[in-house]
Amino acid sequence: MMYRMLTALTLAAAVFAGASLASADELGKKASKVMRDNEKAIVQIEATLTVSAKGPMAERLGGTQEQKVNVQATVIDASGLCVCSYVSLNPTSAMGKINLPGGQGTVSFKGELSDVQITLPDGTDIPARVVLKDEDLDLAFVAPKEKLESQDAEQISAVDLSKPAPKASRLDQVVRLSRLGKSLNRELVVELDRISAIITKPRRIYILGGAKPGSPVFVPGGKLLGIITFRKKPGAQSLRRAGGIGGTPVVLPTSDVKKIADQAREELKKAPATKPKPEKTEPETKKAQD
């Protein structure tokens, strides 16, 4: 009797393990398809950020400084228009006023962007500009300054904002795509994650276990759930925390991203990308006559 019971339990465990492996294998196949369908939409944005301080002790805090920023971005249009987290691109937008110790007042920081470039998957840098930003939703839309050459246009594809995924629930599985840095050849990264929390006020957003702002998040079926942005912590920070930014990476649903993306497309119509400048060629010299 005991032998039969142990045998039954062993068989049940084997069946359960087999079902779990089959489920994991199926999920892996879906994630692989999401990766193949969207890998060309994962790019990076590089820029020079000039940070200046204003207020008491501004000079002691470094005065004006320049630094390079490199952030994740997602292509949303065949023209090369892409979206990223504005806080990632310009961290000073989330710093607000910093309280100085000892009641010495406050200091604020301002960042200005220049030399903006979109880095394609093959490492090609495309001169770009910030078309539109929404600091409340932490979105920045960046577009090439010139119309993409055909060989560069072939390097990218756009995610589909017109078909948002249905509302997700806690513990639902999702697929995240991003890229590694230059030192690791900007290789594509695909990760499986689960929604750990859902915030519904003032708008619906999703919380994941780990996230890189600017990266797209998909449901396993392939539809875009949203773009990872940064939700700033309200209120002034202390000087001890000025080196970091208070807040949390969140997934902003596709429908919210699309509303601002439509505005960015309208801005592009007002100031479209210019045509690529023709390459300069040396003028032909006339042959000397005898």
Domain boundaries, the chain: 32-270
pLDDT digits (tens, 9 = 90+) for 92-103: 888 767 776 666
Higher-pLDDT residue of 13 and 146 is: 146
DSSP summary character for residue 275 = P
pLDDT > 70 fraction of the chain, expressed in percent and rounded: 77
pLDDT digits (tens, 9 = 90+) for 5-24: 445 445 444 444 444 444 56
Cβ atoms of residues 242 and 95 within 8 Å = yes
What CATH number should be reported for the domain whose range is 32-270? 2.40.10.120
pTM: 0.82
Residue 135 has pLDDT above 90, yes or no: yes
Residue 180 has pLDDT above 80, yes or no: yes
Residue 27 backbone phi and psi in degrees, to 5 = -65, -40
DSSP summary character for residue 157 = -
Give the residue among 286, 262, 205 at the shortest CA–CA distance from 76: 262
Dihedral-angle region of residue 284 (phi above 0 means left; psi in -120 to 50 means alpha; beta otherwise): beta
Find the range with the poorest average confidence among 22-31, 193-202, 271-280.
Answer: 271-280
> CA quadruple 112, 114, 119, 123: dihedral positive or negative?
negative
How far apart are alpha carbons 219 and 37 in whole angstroms? 13
Residue with tokens 């801005």: 267
Find the range with the poorest average confidence among 39-48, 127-136, 146-155, 281-290.
Answer: 281-290
